[in-house]
Amino acid sequence: MSVTNVLVLNGPNLGRLGSREPDVYGSGTLDDLRAALESEAHEGLTIDLRQTNDEATLIGWLYEAVDTSSPVILNPAAFTHYSYALRDAAALVTKAGLLLVEVHISNPHAREVFRHTSVISGVATGVIAGFGFESYALALDLVARRLR
């Protein structure tokens, strides 16, 4: 059976999960998230979870997804709301016929008005938001279903 590597990409400030606004994002760290996703153990899927505060790095990882035909679970964090550069890179992924699931830990629509706009959603395959770390688990389930 062939193995598909799922890129789980996280944008700025998500490296501070655990201590960053735990009332909004919970008390789990990025390592906890990685462990939770790895324990989901979808047959034929490996998880490559990364985080960066740097827009250029995130864009480079989306190119890598295209070049390696990897599905993407993307939490663009604050870039969600204004990064047209990230949107254009995300469009390359979906235009290549690859899944790109936009995820959010919180529900941005229940928060400040500036969070109600996502410049990424229009080029994502779909969006899962508001379920804490389970947003990622649901996205991973979706990827597994689609690759079946």
* DSSP letter assigned to residue 15: G
Is 104 catalytic? The answer is yes
**DSSP characters over 16-55:** GTTTS-HHHH-S--HHHHHHHHHHH--TTEEEEEEE-S-H
3-class SS letters over 106-130: CCHHHCCHHHHCCCCHHHCCEEEEC
Is 25 catalytic? The answer is yes
For the purposes of burial, counting CB atoms within 10 Å of the CB of 110, is it exposed (0-12), middle (13-18) or buried (19 or more)? Answer: exposed
Among the residue ranges 35-43, 48-56, 72-80, 139-147, the one whose residues contact ligand DQA (CB under 6 A): 72-80
CB of 123 to ligand DQA, least distance (A): 16
**From 63, 82, 84, 104, the catalytic residue:** 104
45 interacts with ligand DQA by CB under 6 A: no
Q: CB–CB of 93/62 below 8 Å?
A: yes
User: By C-beta, is 74 or 99 nearer to ligand DQA?
Assistant: 74
87 interacts with ligand DQA by CB under 6 A: no
Candidate residues 51, 70, 83, 106; the one interacting with ligand DQA per rule CB under 6 A? 106
75 interacts with ligand DQA by CB under 6 A: yes
Candidate residues 62, 72, 74, 77; the one interacting with ligand DQA per rule CB under 6 A? 77
Q: Using CB under 6 A as the criterion, which residues of the chain lie in contact with ligand DQA when the complex forms?
A: 13, 75, 77-78, 80, 104-106, 108, 115
